[in-house]
Structure 1
Amino acid sequence: MNLMRYLGFDGTAEIDLDRGTCFGKLLFIDDLVTYEASDPRALKAEFHAAVDDYLETCRQLGRPPKKPHSGLFNVRTTPEKHRDLLLCAAERGISLNAVVNEAIAQFLSAKCSDGIPTPSCTVAVNLVDTFVPSTDPRNFVTVSPSGDTVTPTLFIEAFGGRQKEAPANPH
């Protein structure tokens, strides 16, 4: 699925091969707003028209268009990962919330190609559980912003969880 953005609104862009159409819907709103077209260029125009129409409808109804994001959500994990995160937070003298926010920020800012971090980002991946068996929950893969430090010699490929050998010299 591809995403489009217009006037701060996000929408999907999908293809139905059986029907020979492109379609999508607006994301993160309280209403269901969909759009459809015969080709990708037309879908983009329909997406823009759907956003414009949605904004006008909300204005006429006197209500805010976007669904507010509270910043609160539940994360389900294993008891072992929960414990490991609490230990990490305690060792660093910070809250569990701060540890999770750091991990989210790092994930969102990482720019990786083929699972190998670029020299402009820092990535730390906990090598426990299903990805890589480890008896030490504090065993991390770390790449410094300059790309100099790699320990140990494994990377976890983004979004796939597959192991890759780290290069001897990341440059």
Structure 2
Amino acid sequence: MNTMDINGYQAVISFDPDINMFRGEFVGLNGGADFYATTVDDLRKEGEISLNTFLEMCAEEGVEPRKHFSGKFNLRVPPTLHERLAAQAAAHGKSINAWITELLSKTTAHVH
């Protein structure tokens, strides 16, 4: 999957072989907003239209367009991986949380 930034909002882009079109879906919104096109340029245009329609609807209904993220989530891993993570974090002088946060920050640095 790929992402596209449209006016500061991220959309996940995929190809739908059943209809032979690209599909974009905005993520992190308080509702659904998707769009389709056959070219990248048209996909961006359709994304802008879909986003603007969604934002206008939010404004009319007094709804915050973006979801609120608390910064907390649970992650379940096998006990053997948990043990290795604890050892690696300790080797870096960090808690598991601090070490994984650092790793995730590095691997997602290109995402806006």
CA contact (8 A) 1:13 1:43 kept: no
CA contact (8 A) 2:55 2:65 kept: yes
* Distance in 2 between residues matched to 1:18 and 1:77, nearest whole Å: 35
> Aligned-pair distance for 1:28?
1.5
SS in 2 for 1:94: coil
- CA RMSD of the aligned region, Å? 2.3
Query: Does structure 1 conserve the Cα–Cα contact (< 8 Å) formed by 2:92 and 2:99?
Result: no
Count of residues in Structure 1 that have an aligned counterpart in Structure 2: 110
Distance 2:86 2:78 in 1: 12
Aligned residues: percent identity?
28
Aligned: 1:80 with 2:80: yes
Higher strand fraction (1 or 2): 1
Structure with greater Cα Rg: 1
TM-score relative to the length of structure 2: 0.79
**TM-score normalised by length of structure 1:** 0.55
Q: Give every structure 1 segment of 4 or more consecutive aligned residues whose post-TM-superposition deviation is greater than 4 Å.
A: 90-93
Per-residue Cα deviation, 1:26-81 (whole angstroms, up to 9, x for no partner): 11213111112243321210001111111111111111100112111122222122
Describe how 1:1-171 pairs up with structure 2 within 5 A: 1-90=1-90, 93-109=93-109
